[in-house]
Structure 1
């Protein structure tokens, strides 16, 4: 499979959603439950967002349980199944709010079945070719215009 990538700078942004913590080795068991919970809660804030549900960008924010936005290595990891909201929006009760700081990213758009191959491409091709360092956890983005199963991986790099 051929992958392509781009460098993207993102400003600070707020993500609100459902956060969980669990064993990084069994994330395929507990992370999907966070997405189901988010889907159930979305109607509670749609009016406040003033955009249709199908237009909301979604993020899967991964972080080490001990150090915010560090990659999962072993032990416990945090995962926030969330949506991109205006920075000034307050977090409704029962939701978790996190701020992603301004960063530059390498972005690879792929499909869920090819995520492992895309990550391998990132580390084996992009990192050495670009002479960059990945400085945090890779984040998942699900765009409102994406087909089911499409995903973009956002790998934070040193801002240049």
Structure 2
């Protein structure tokens, strides 16, 4: 559940969405999924414009994005918020250390070099405990 935007909204859209999500987070904080007292995680979700969770187009530069937090399936978004339900995938993932684009391209190269195929949009996971970001590369539809 989060704030949704599109690359058609102009440069810096992802940063603006995260700023809005962080600014208004108190509106959805009670809905956030937890493990004990800890939030499960924040997600930067991506989909192509068809909303089928296919990869972004034009060399991964065009699509829609949701900046938000993981919530239970039954959670309903308050006004001004959007909830996406991501289909089940099997993933290869990696921590983002250093340059995001370099890690993204290295992840794609890893898939290619190991005979794996990207079957959906890459997703970003941010672990709240240490603020570590991971990229999740979907390699199988479940």
Specify the alignment match of 1:153 in structure 2: 135
Higher strand share: 1
Specify the alignment match of 1:30 in structure 2: 13
Structure 1, gaps ≥5 residues long? 1-15
Deviation at 1:41, TM superposition (A): 1.6
Q: Among 105, 110, 133, which residue is 1:120 paired with? A: 105
TM-score (norm 1): 0.74
TM-score (norm 2): 0.82
CA distance in 1, matches of 2:140, 2:56: 19
Deviation at 1:135, TM superposition (A): 0.6
Higher RCO (C-alpha under 8 Å, 6+ residues apart): 1
SS of 2:119 mapped into structure 1: coil
| Higher mean displacement: 89-98 or 69-78 | 69-78
Return closer, same or farther for 1:45/1:159 CA change in 2, 3 Å cut-off. Answer: closer
Q: Are 1:132 and 1:158, in contact at CA under 8 Å, matched by a contact in 2?
A: no
Q: Are 2:120 and 2:137, in contact at CA under 8 Å, matched by a contact in 1?
A: yes
| Higher mean displacement: 84-93 or 119-128 | 119-128
CA distance in 2, matches of 1:104, 1:42: 29
Alignment pair present for 1:94 and 2:77? no
Structure 2, gaps ≥5 residues long? none
